[in-house]
Structures are given as C-alpha cells and as structure tokens.
Structure 1
Amino acid sequence: GPHGQQHWPEGHPACGGRAQSPIDIQRQRVQLDPSLPPVRPVGYQRPGTPAFTLTNNGHTAVLALPPSLRLQGLPGGFAAAQLHFHWGRPGHTGGAEHLLDGHRAPAEVRGHPQHGVQKGVRPGKGDGSRKWSRNGVGMEQGMGLGAGDSTGQTTAIPSFSVQDLLPPRLDLFYRYNGSLTTPPCFQGVLWTLFQQPVRISLAQLEQLQGTLYATEADEPEPQPLVDNFRVPQELNQRLVLSSFPPGTKGYSTGEIVAIIFGTVAGCLGLFLAIHFVAKRTRPSPPARQSQEGAGPQRRVQSLLP
C-alpha cells in the first residue's frame, strides 16, 4: 500500500540509506574479532519490582523494565527501559527481522536500555545528549497477554528473573553497524546478535501472533497486529563481525531450521538481538519519532575496524 515499507524513504530519507537494518547474516562472510567482550547483565536475576507493565502501542507489545537492570560489556553502562517484540502471523513460523543464512526465526525481542543514568534517575525529555541502548532477550515466562489486546491497552504481569530470558553464552555473538528498523530508520546503530537462540513455547508464540490488534478497542473493524517486521536490507560492503571462530558449539543451520520450521518438545527457536544507539544532540520534530519508541539519534563511534 501507499504506507508500505517500499515508500518509507519518501517521508524518511534515512530509510533509503546504505547501512540499514535488519540484514541476512551469511556466516561464510563473517569476520572473526576475538577482542569483542561478552555482554554482562547486572541485576537481571532480581529486578527489584513487584510487577512489569505490558502495553500494546499499536506497533508491538512493550514490556517496561526497571532501571535497576544494567548491561556491561557494551561501550558504557546501560540501564534497562523496555523490551518489545517482532513476529509474523498465525500459521507461519517466520517473524524475526534478522535472518541467519537465509533462515528467519519465529520472533525477535528487543530491549531499550538507557545509557549513563544513575539508578532510579532518568533525564528529562529535553535532554538531547542522553544515549540509548537496545538489547534483545527471549520470553520463556508466560506474559499474560490478554486476548484481543488493542492499541493503548496496558496490563501488569508478575515480576520474574530477566536473567532467565538470556541465552547461556553471552560471549558468542555477531556484530555489525546498522539502523533502526522502523521510520525514521536512523543509522549509527551497533547491533549484536547472539549465536544461541532461546526458546518459547508454541502457545506463547501463538499469543503474540493472534491476540493483539493494531487498532483501538472500539474500532468496528479491528485489524490484527501481525507481520510487524521489516524485510532484510542490503549489506552494501559492511562488515559483520563474530566474537567466536567458525565451528564453535551452538546451533548449526540444520538445527536452527528444525527449531524454526518444526517443534522440538513443544518449543520454537527465538533469535536474539541486542543493539544500541546514541541520541542526536539536536531533537527532531515529534512527527519523526520512531515506531520503536526511540528518540532522534546521532551516529555512534563504530567498533568495526
């Protein structure tokens, strides 16, 4: 349609840039960089809050996280802000944005930690110098998505150990320079994608695919919230780094395909992504805010050689 992904560059020129996300990671083209440090979560086992808030914003489901959760191993310290999700539609097993050797996982989960914020303190909206981080985690716990959740609806779910949502090996990942995956598609985003997926139940995947709507509760013709992922973008000479050498124990392509396109003990693979982005020093007009909830951006110093 007139508002489809192919038309994004018309209103958001950055969406037509040469360093866009997501991408299809081709492992035979990945370059090893053993100096990349592992990601280290702090406070993820005991979030320190009785409940989390889950909201349908019309584009995705957003899980608010307390700022006591922090990530180390990235350039700077990051306090958690929220997680959100990308998925497909009922009856289909593809919903993740990033691909691995041409294969798409059922879902992708992202987080929005905030950089340089003291525990329990957040800068005001007018602080154009603050930085943002994004990290992806899985959702093994039941989320309590209510049937028919419409745009703007919010529910509370019991607190749980966010550490349990992370894969066991946080030192095994791919990394590349990219962008936000929704308008305004700002570039200067450093992505880190874990080698090891985590798993969610088929029932939990079906909740994401079939219980949320992209319209208000009183809409006479409600539209299901499905296929909220962007198609893969051209790599355009960018490097994709790996923190581990080829042959490191993990999921082979065949195992990933088996998890993605079939069930293994009632579970499906969930591809994880972690990425972070810094805000521009000059805020953009409200109309240019990203669907993902990110503010205006500035380019982050590349970690690539």
Structure 2
Amino acid sequence: MQQLILPAVLASFWTICTGAGDWCYQSQFTCDNECNVPDKWNHANSNCAGKHQSPINVVTRKTLKDERLTNFQFDNYQQIFRGTIKNNGHSVQVGVPHLSTISGGGLPTSYKAVQFHLHWGNNGGPGSEHTIDGEQYPMELHIVHMKHHYTDLTTALSDPEGVAVLGFFYERSNSGNRKYDPIINALQSIKTTNGNTSLLPISLAQLIPSEQNLTTYYRYKGSLTTPGCTEAVIWTLFENPIPLSIDQLKAFSELKFNDGKPMVGTFRPVQPLNGRQVSRSVGAVILASSALLVATIATALGLSQPN
C-alpha cells in the first residue's frame, strides 16, 4: 500500500503543475502560477490546435517566388498620431487610427491599421515569434490590419482573409534608434499590467524600414499568435530588420506580467507548417542580382569586341 502512495502524490503534484486557467507564456509558468503554457493553449481555446497556426519557421530555400507579391502601397503611414501605449499583461500594444492603410503586395483588397504590438525575449536575447532558417531575432513587431470595410477586429476575424499582419524583425545595433524614443521612454510609465500612457506624436512609417527597403518579404496564411489563435491572418514577414541598441531592447524586459514577474519571453514557439506553402516576393534582391547579371554580360561583350 505504501508503495502506491508516493506515485499517487507525485501524480497529483504533476497535475497541479501542468497548468490550468488562463493562457500564459512559458516564462510565466510556475507551480504558484497555474496557467496554460503554449503547448496547452488548446485548453484555453480549441482553435490553438488548428492546422494553420502561427508563427512558423521560414525555410528560405523552400519558399516559392510569387510574381503576384509586388511592392506594397502604404497610404497615410507618414501620418502623425498621438496613440496610447498599454501594458496589456502579455505585451505592449498601441492603438492606431484607422487612417493608415496597405494595399498591393498580393493582398485581395486594402486593409486598414488597427494596432501594433511587440514580442521579445529576455534582456535582448532571442525573442521573435517567427524564425528565418532557424534564426530567432531579439524582437518582432506586428502591425495588425483588417479589411477596409470592417469596423472591428472581431468581425474581421470571422473572414478567412479578414486580417493582414505585417511582421518586422529587430537586430542589435551599436547605437540607439532615435525614432523609437517615444516608445522606449513611455515604457517607464507602463511597467505594471493595464498601465497605459499617451505617446508623443509618432507615425507608423518612422517605426519600420524605408519603403524602398520593404520589397523583399515572405507570405503565408496563418493565425493570431495568441489565444484565440484564429486562422484568419494573411502574414507578411519583411526581410530587412529594424536596428535597436541593446539598451533599447533591454527596456522591454523591465515591464511586468500581471503577477509582477518580469515580462520576458513573450513569444509563441514556431508551429508546424502542415503542408502550407510559404511564398517570397520578387523583391529587391532578385532585381539587384538581375542588374548585376546585365552588367556582367555587358562587360563581357565589351571585352570581346575587337579594338
């Protein structure tokens, strides 16, 4: 009888420590904080066990060039606005006036910006949600858009192509990115969950690479990367990263989850592709290579001509 007691106690302890209640990131889980870690998110929402989930690892050699993936048109991305930045308990989020829109880029229609938020690691360590050939960047920006005729995100998510998210990676830089000062400075005021403050005037354009550096990107169909994991997202992942200094990256790790612990590791692990095809744009790299090829041919022809 005594031999059965210890396994029973251990089984009971394991049950307690396997998570219950609300969803959380792996970095939040302890036996004192019973929550559903990413591989248990389907307990929080059954959609999270779907076959077309995000994020993914992009294997570049397996991507297919798609001639329909032309340059984006960014309308009113230069528009200055005064947003509110909030610690929502899982990330930092900024609401965006619906004036900024995207079209082109192989999208079925135009989409208007709703909000942007970020995912990061621990003190500048690996923290992006998507990975490229297995490389995880320090942080990832998601600018969330919905089809232009919808008035709220909930309705848009009922459309299989209702939402378009632009994803941008960050890389460490030796110097600070002054364009990010409004956001970095505001973090001090929103350390605790539900903390919010007004941002100094910013534009979406100042947060991302210049338009001429946004021609190379990857495209696939996926989901939201937090519960409810709704599979209604057209994903675009831009190749050119955004520079931030290590101090700027570390500033995000000073925020707190709702239990007061450091808000770090705010990313969902990559999900199986399950047969989905990832496409790539024609992009600047291809064009540059073509130009180089033309120049090489021209030089060769010049060299072969008799004097």
Shared fold, TM over 0.5: yes
- Which of residues 133, 154, 160 in structure 1 aligns to 2:164? 133
State the Cα distance separating 1:32 from its structure 2 match: 0.9
- Greater Cα offset, 126-135 or 228-237: 126-135
Amino acid at match of 1:29: K
Shift in Å, 1:222? 1.5
1:206 aligns with 2:245: no
If the length of structure 2 is used for normalisation, what is the TM-score? 0.70
Q: Which residue identity lines up with residue 164 of structure 2 in the other structure?
A: S
How far has the Cα of 1:129 moved from its partner? Answer: 6.8
- CA spacing shift, 1:117–1:126, aligned 2, 3 Å: closer
- Give the direction of change, closer, same or farther, for the CA distance of 1:141–1:30 in structure 2 (3 Å limit): same
| Kept in 2: contact 1:85–1:110 (CA 8 A) | yes
- Contact 2:208 2:242 (8 Å CA) reproduced: yes
In the TM superposition, residue 117 of structure 1 has moved relative to its aligned partner by: 4.4
Secondary structure of the corresponding residue to residue 10 of structure 1: helix
- 1:165 deviates by 2.1
Instruction: Identify the residue that residue 159 of structure 1 maps to in structure 2.
Output: 201
Within 2, Cα distance between the matches of 1:165 and 1:135?
12
How far the C-alpha of 1:125 sits from its partner, in A, is 7.3
Q: Is the 8 A contact 1:83 1:136 kept in 2?
A: no
Equivalent in the alignment of 2:15: none
After TM superposition, list the pairs within 5 Å mapping 1:1-305 onto structure 2: 1-2=18-19, 3-47=36-80, 49=81, 51-73=82-104, 74-90=107-123, 92-117=124-149, 122=151, 131-136=162-167, 140-142=179-181, 143=183, 144=185, 145-146=187-188, 149-168=191-210, 169-210=213-254, 212-215=255-258, 222-244=260-282, 248=286
Contact 1:117 1:123 in 2 (8 A): no
CA pair 148-78 structure 1, distance change in 2 beyond 3 A = closer
Kindly, what percent of the aligned residue pairs are identical?
30
RMSD: 2.7
Q: Distance in 2 between matches of 1:93 and 1:243?
A: 29
Is the CA contact (8 Å cut-off) linking 1:78 and 1:116 kept in structure 2? yes
1:151: Cα distance to partner? 0.7
Residues 28 and 8 of structure 1: CA distance in aligned 2, closer, same or farther (over 3 Å): same
CA distance in 1, matches of 2:125, 2:133: 16
TM-superposed CA distance for 1:194, in Å, is 0.8
* Equivalent residues, number: 238
Q: TM-score, structure 1 length as denominator?
A: 0.70
1:16-63 deviations in Å (ceiling 9; x for gaps): 22221111111111111122122221111123x3x2210011011011
Please say if residues 190 and 196 of structure 2, whose CA atoms lie closer than 8 Å, have aligned partners that are also in contact: no
Residue 190 (structure 1) shift: 1.7
In structure 1, how many angstroms separate the alpha carbons of the residues matched to 2:100 and 2:109? 14
Distance 2:283 2:193 in 1: 44
| SS class of match (1:34) | coil
Cα shift readout 1:241-287 (whole Å, capped 9, x = no counterpart)? 0113796489xxxxxxxxxxxxxxxxxxxxxxxxxxxxxxxxxxxxx
Alpha-carbon offset, residue 64 of structure 1: 1.5
Spell out, residue by residue over 1:120-178, the C-alpha distance to the aligned partner (whole angstroms, 9 max, x if none).
xx469789878443333578421121166111111111112321222232221101111
Contact map agreement 1:82 1:112 (CA 8 A) in 2? yes
Q: 5+ residue gaps in structure 1?
A: 216-220, 251-305
8 Å CA contact 1:40, 1:170 repeated in 2: no
- Farther off after superposition, 172-181 or 128-137: 128-137
CA distance in structure 2 between the aligned counterparts of 1:14 and 1:229, rounded to whole angstroms:
18
Deviating 4+ runs (over 6 angstroms)? 124-130
* Alpha-carbon separation, structure 1, partners of 2:134 and 2:241: 16
Greater share of residues in helix: 2
Could you say if the C-alpha distance between residues 159 and 26 of structure 1 is closer, same or farther in structure 2, counting changes exceeding 3 Å?
same
What amino acid sits opposite 1:213 in the alignment?
K
Q: SS at 1:203's partner residue? A: helix
- 1:77 is displaced (CA, Å) by 1.9
